[in-house]
C-alpha cells in the first residue's frame, strides 16, 4: 500500500513522463517539417519510450492501492531556432528527469518504502542510458556546427541509432 506522500510523488512523475513524451513528439514534428527524417524518427521513438515510462508508473500506482492521476499537461515548445538548440533542450530535459527520479528515490528511502524504492531502480538505470545518448548526440551536433552537409549525414546516422537501440 502506498503512502499518500509517495502516491503524490509518483503522480508528479507520471505527469513529467507524459510531458516528456509530448515534448519529444513536438520535436519529432519540427524535425519532420524540416525534412530531417532520421532525427524525426529518433524523436518519435523517444516519445513512445516516455509514454511507456509513464504507463509503467501508472500500472504500479494502481496496483499498489493508489490512484494514478491523468492531468492536463504543459504545452510543449513547437519550434526551435536550430537543431543544436533542440538537442540541448533534450539533454537538459533528461537531466531534469534524472533529478526528479533521484528525488523520488530519496523520498521512498526516507519513508522506508523499499518496494517502491526497488521499482524505481529501473528508472535510475534508464536515466543513465538516456543521459548518455542525449550527451553523445549533443557532442556530435556541436562538432557539426552550422554545416548543412554534416547535418545531412548526421540525419542518416541517427537512423541507425534508432534501429539498434
**Residues engaged in binding ligand OFO (CB under 6 A):** 17, 20, 50, 53, 94, 97, 123, 126-127, 130
Decide: 104 and 9 in contact? Cβ < 8 Å.
yes
CB-nearer residue toward ligand OFO: 108 or 151: 108
| Chain-centre distance for alpha carbon 77 | 15
Helices 148-164, 37-63: crossing angle, 10 deg rounding:
40
CB-nearer residue toward ligand OFO: 30 or 123: 123
- The H-assigned helical ranges of the chain are 4-33, 37-63, 83-110, 114-144, 148-164
Residue 17 C-beta: closest distance to ligand OFO, Å = 5
CB-nearer residue toward ligand OFO: 37 or 131: 131
Residue 123 C-beta: closest distance to ligand OFO, Å = 5
Residue 159 C-beta: closest distance to ligand OFO, Å = 20
| Chain-centre distance for alpha carbon 22 | 10
Give residue number: closest CB to ligand OFO: 53
Q: What is the CA radius of gyration of the chain?
A: 17
CB-nearer residue toward ligand OFO: 97 or 151: 97
Amino acid at each position: 500500500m502506498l503512502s499518500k506522500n509517495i502516491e503524490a510523488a509518483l503522480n508528479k512523475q507520471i505527469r513529467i513522463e507524459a510531458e516528456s513524451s509530448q515534448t519529444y513528439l513536438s520535436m519529432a514534428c519540427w524535425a519532420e517539417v524540416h525534412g530531417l527524417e532520421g532525427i524525426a524518427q529518433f524523436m518519435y521513438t523517444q516519445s513512445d519510450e516516455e509514454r511507456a515510462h509513464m504507463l509503467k508508473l501508472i500500472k504500479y500506482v494502481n496496483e499498489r492501492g493508489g490512484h494514478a492521476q491523468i492531468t492536463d499537461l504543459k504545452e510543449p515548445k513547437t519550434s526551435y531556432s536550430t537543431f543544436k538548440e533542440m538537442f540541448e533542450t533534450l539533454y537538459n530535459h533528461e537531466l531534469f528527469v534524472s533529478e526528479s527520479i533521484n528525488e523520488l528515490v530519496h523520498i521512498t528511502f526516507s519513508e522506508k518504502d523499499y518496494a517502491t524504492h526497488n521499482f524505481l531502480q529501473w528508472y535510475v538505470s534508464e536515466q543513465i542510458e538516456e543521459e548518455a545518448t542525449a550527451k553523445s548526440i549533443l557532442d556530435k551536433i556541436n562538432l557539426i556546427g552550422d554545416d548543412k552537409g554534416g547535418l545531412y549525414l548526421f540525419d542518416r546516422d541517427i537512423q541507425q541509432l534508432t534501429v539498434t537501440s
